[in-house]
């Protein structure tokens, strides 16, 4: 079990639900609504794990994952997304060696 988790998603309603559900398990939860904010928080804070949406505007989770792992290779990262389409799958496969888990979001656009 992780003691301190950062959840990153650009969909506020989903972010709030995830944070609430995880917090009920006694986990200290922080949230970020963009990859840029998450990277700043990870650089200045102490997190055991990050749960990150892969498909976000401005900087997607794929790029954020790469930058996050460069600055904090020890941090556990779990991705969540609704992957569809060849471009998304190609990006996912390119990062597969560094992926330690994936949560597929059941949310629809």
Q: Which of 49, 53, 50, 47 is nearest to 14 (CA)?
A: 53
Q: Given this model, what pLDDT does residue 82 score?
A: 60
Average pLDDT across the chain, whole number: 74
Q: Which of 31, 32, 27 is nearest to 4 (CA)?
A: 27
- Higher pLDDT: 93 or 79? It is 79
Residue 94 has pLDDT above 90, yes or no: no
pTM of structure: 0.70
Q: Are 5 and 11 in contact (CB under 8 A)?
A: no
Residue 31 has pLDDT above 90, yes or no: yes
Q: Given this model, what pLDDT does residue 40 score?
A: 93
> How large is the angle between the packed helices 35-44 and 61-71, nearest 10 degrees?
10
Residues 64-86: pLDDT tens digits? Answer: 888 888 888 888 877 766 655 44
In order of 22, 36, 53, 74, the CA distances from 9 in angstroms are 14, 11, 5, 21
The mean per-residue pLDDT over the stretch 33-39 comes to 90
**Domains (ranges, CATH) in the chain?**
4-104 (3.40.50.2300)
The mean per-residue pLDDT over the stretch 35-62 comes to 84
């Amino acid at each position: 079990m992780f003691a301190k988790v950062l959840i990153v998603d650009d969909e506020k309603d989903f972010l709030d639900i995830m944070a609430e559900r995880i917090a009920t398990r006694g986990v200290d939860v922080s949230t970020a609504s963009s990859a840029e904010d998450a990277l700043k928080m990870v650089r200045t804070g102490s997190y055991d794990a990050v749960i990150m949406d892969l498909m976000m505007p401005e900087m997607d989770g794929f790029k954020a994952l790469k930058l996050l792992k460069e600055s904090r290779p020890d941090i556990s990262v779990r991705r969540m997304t609704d992957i569809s389409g060849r471009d998304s799958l190609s990006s996912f496969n390119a990062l597969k060696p560094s992926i330690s888990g994936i949560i597929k979001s059941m949310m629809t656009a």
